[in-house]
Amino acid sequence: MLEQSFTDLCEKYNKSGKGGPSRLTQVLNAYIGAMVQEILSHNGDVLKFSGDAFIALWKETDHLSLRDAVHEAIDCALVIQKSYGTYQTDVDVVVRVKLAVAAGHLVFSLIGDDENSHYLMTGQPIYDIKAAESKSHAGEIIITARVSHHLSANEYLIDLLPDGIHAKVLGVGPNWRNIQRTYENKERVSETYSLLSTTASMEDDLRQDSTTSVDNMTPERRVTEVGEDDDLQIASRVVTDQYALRPAVNFAARMKMKDQLKRFIIAPVVRGILAEEPIEYLTEIRQVAILFINIKVSSMISNVKGIDVANEVYLAVCNTVKNQYGCVNKISNFDKDLMLLVIFGLRGFKHELESQIALKCASEATGKIRAIEHIQEVAAGVTTGKCYCGAFGHTLRREYTVIGLTVNKGARLMVAYANKVTCDRETFLHSKLESRNFILQEYKPLKGIVNPGPIYEFREVEKAQQENLTYILPLLGREQEIDLFATLMRRANKLSKINTDKQFYNMLIFQGAYRQGKSRLYEELTHSIDQSIPLRKFTLTRFDYEIPYRTIRSIFLTFIGPDTSSVRQREKKILELLNDKHHIEQLCFFNFVFDVKFHISKMYHDMDLNSKYETLKNLFKTFCKACFKSFHIIAIDDAENIDDESWMLIKLLLELNLVFVVATMGTAKELSTLAMKVLKSPKIKTVELKGIDKWYHVGLACQMLNVDGIPAELEK
């Protein structure tokens, strides 16, 4: 693990002007790449990268015992300590490294689905190495008790720490032995020739069976490029770069696994690869929003069950951010805690409200995670700022990551403020949300952050509104609007209980300019509704408009569960509501509407677009009747953000006379053609909201200032 000066290094290059990202990449690749090369040369491999640390793995095999693997790891640590323990950069920042070694059995597992996947390893060595790392200082090598059991006397100079569990390795002892390499350089040359010829012959066989391409760089090109060199050049290159042909990479190429491996790489990198861009093009200093999520899992569950929980958590977060300009960059587990890093605003995923989106995703994701069994605690930290973004490491083992003070702050927030969604001042300002959604937190020192600034807890808009209702003040100058709402709502309630051909309004929209008092009127109307009538209320934001069927999902949240619930839970509730066998083959029509994954039936495949829409309409009407068995009221604030797909289904819902909808709508945003068409429906009444009479200005000023009166001079 690299010392905190690593972040200082990134911040220095961030401020160095043009060429900063390029210079930082060179430093990272030269320093970290050299350490990775040392690990590879000692038969190890890099398991996980993080911003300022990585875990290397030595695996017990038929040719390498666990005892020898421990020796390889310690020998590698000693070389790194001596050669790379301290690194002086050109911006006067000294980077130091500390090392820890643990041993034992691990459980390896893949998590995710066909779209997004990652890998996790869990087991006692993971927890031991975290504990050992916390005992080490810059330039030290700490080993655990289990590692010590694999060492003979005087093989290494060891100093036992006061806790009696960990020990410090000072160097090699008089009985140190060199672990014999499996292959000598000469054998590696012949092995390389054999591997190349085997790869070529296997590819020829595969090309006869399939026409699918393996990669953007075909095997023929790889073999040809090597073949163009003479024998001396090949031998020289193999000796100097012995590990260029990794067996796993060659195996993946032979098995044509390109498409299967895409799901392990985040979208911006995949786009660059498909465009055949150099990996250096990903390097940049970029304004992003960072979301860190920390999950404490019950310590009573087994390692295998812990992997299952991690899989549920990973899928929940991926499904939350997949259409919201977010990329899940990392997931790791230390000491039975899970940590996820999500980045908003990467290349191709830029949005002007990415800080707001990150906050809403944090709130959604934490809600989903809390619903998972064996979860004890969830916390999220959201920060906004400029970070180094790019791929760094070794030519053979590199990873896309983000580094910077903004990233560190997000990680510190999720740890310092338990069971909350917190954010920094920059996120608070860039979110462009009203201050009522934020609660200022008490100051807590954050490790490595000298001046973190004010920290806020983010609370969802709807929850904030519900709390505000407890001390609401009289609404001034809106008596006509309140009476109109009460009249139309009572009429709709009465006529919904009888079959009638009479036309009546099912939706009332108050439309007005910015700061006209729409949300205040909305609160008053929803507060005045008879509690015996079921009410579903929610507020939309600008990015909700970009998500198909987002409003419809919010309307039916009570019946099928929120987006925070799992796909299986939503599918189960839909099946319970539509328990008729006749609808089983049609359920796949709801896949996009409610974000579920019912099996695609043959009926769906055989239909044209118009037939699919008609079937969806009929199924949706049946579903509405199953849900709204009694009269309901739906209240929508900022309805100008209703997506077009939802408008189509809202029109159908109104025609069934099952609900009454009251909504507020701004005038700043131009509505779509489809929305304008729906608003002309005879079931919808739109009222232009005017400014209140001057008579009420004094009372309004007193309310805003929270005083009983104002001077006559100010009133004039």
What average pLDDT does this structure show over 484-494?
Answer: 92
Q: Which residue in 404, 397, 401, 281 sits closest to 34, CA to CA?
A: 397
One domain for residues 294 and 251: no
One domain for residues 178 and 189: no
What average pLDDT does this structure show over 331-351?
Answer: 85
Quick one: CA dihedral 358, 360, 362, 365, positive or negative? negative
Spatial contact of 492 and 484, defined as CB atoms under 8 Å apart: no
Q: What are the Cα distances from residue 479, in Å, to 362, 423, 476, 482, 658? A: 39, 40, 8, 5, 27
Highest mean pLDDT among 278-292, 463-477, 511-525: 278-292
d(CA 547, CA 351): 14
644-678 confidence digits (pLDDT tens): 999 999 999 999 999 999 999 988 788 899 999 99
Pairing mode of beta strands 375-394, 284-297: antiparallel
pLDDT at 273 over 50: yes
289 vs 480, residue with greater confidence: 289
467-486 confidence digits (pLDDT tens): 444 445 677 667 888 899 99
pLDDT at 188 over 70: no
pLDDT at 539 over 60: yes
One domain for residues 498 and 429: no
Quick one: CA dihedral 626, 627, 632, 636, positive or negative? negative
Q: Is residue 370 part of a domain?
A: yes
Q: What's the pLDDT band for 212 if we cut at 50, 70, 90?
A: very low
Report the domain count for the chain. Answer: 4
CATH number for the domain that contains residue 534: 3.40.50.300
Q: Is residue 111 part of a domain?
A: yes
pLDDT at 363 over 60: yes
Q: Is residue 620 part of a domain?
A: no
pLDDT at 508 over 50: yes
One domain for residues 107 and 86: yes
Spatial contact of 537 and 460, defined as CB atoms under 8 Å apart: no
Among 58-67, 90-99, 635-644, the least confident range: 90-99
Among 97-111, 113-127, 286-300, 492-506, the least confident range: 492-506
Q: Distance between alpha carbon 27 and the CA centroid of its chain, in Å? A: 28
d(CA 49, CA 68): 24
pLDDT at 591 over 60: yes
Among 59-63, 196-200, 496-500, the least confident range: 196-200
Q: What's the pLDDT band for 395 if we cut at 50, 70, 90?
A: confident
pLDDT at 120 over 80: yes
pLDDT at 246: 64
pLDDT at 275: 85
What average pLDDT does this structure show over 615-634?
Answer: 92
pLDDT at 194: 40
What average pLDDT does this structure show over 338-347?
Answer: 93
pLDDT at 307 over 80: yes
pLDDT over 90 percentage in the chain: 34
d(CA 548, CA 164): 59
One domain for residues 500 and 379: no
One domain for residues 190 and 156: no
d(CA 409, CA 389): 16
What average pLDDT does this structure show over 597-619?
Answer: 90
What are the start-end ranges of the H helices in 1-152? 5-14, 20-41, 66-84, 124-135, 145-148
Spatial contact of 168 and 137, defined as CB atoms under 8 Å apart: no
One domain for residues 50 and 122: yes
Q: Is residue 271 part of a domain?
A: no
Please give the residue range of the domain that contains residue 79: 1-182
One domain for residues 394 and 473: no
Sheet holding 141-143, edge to edge: 99-101, 141-143, 167-172, 156-160
558-579 confidence digits (pLDDT tens): 888 765 567 888 888 898 888 7
Spatial contact of 120 and 303, defined as CB atoms under 8 Å apart: no
One domain for residues 143 and 1: yes
Q: Is residue 576 part of a domain?
A: no
Q: What's the pLDDT band for 242 if we cut at 50, 70, 90?
A: very low
pLDDT at 132: 86
Give the DSSP letter of residue 681: S
Q: Is residue 118 part of a domain?
A: yes
Q: What's the pLDDT band for 245 if we cut at 50, 70, 90?
A: low
684-715 confidence digits (pLDDT tens): 999 998 777 766 677 777 776 777 777 777 76
Which of the listed residues 138, 167, 182 is the one where a domain comes to its end?
182
CATH number for the domain that contains residue 407: 3.30.70.1230
Among 459-463, 529-533, 681-685, the least confident range: 459-463
Contacts of 163 (CB under 8 A, 6+ apart): 135
pLDDT at 232: 34
pLDDT at 609 over 80: yes
Which of the listed residues 219, 234, 262 is the one where a domain comes to its end?
262
Q: Is residue 577 part of a domain?
A: no
One domain for residues 298 and 421: yes
pLDDT at 238: 37
pLDDT at 456 over 50: yes
Which of the listed residues 442, 459, 476 is the one where a domain comes to its end?
459
One domain for residues 97 and 241: no
Q: Is residue 494 part of a domain?
A: yes
3-state secondary structure of 539: strand
pLDDT at 562: 66
One domain for residues 363 and 396: yes
Mean pLDDT over the full length of the chain: 81
pLDDT at 43: 84
611 vs 449, residue with greater confidence: 611
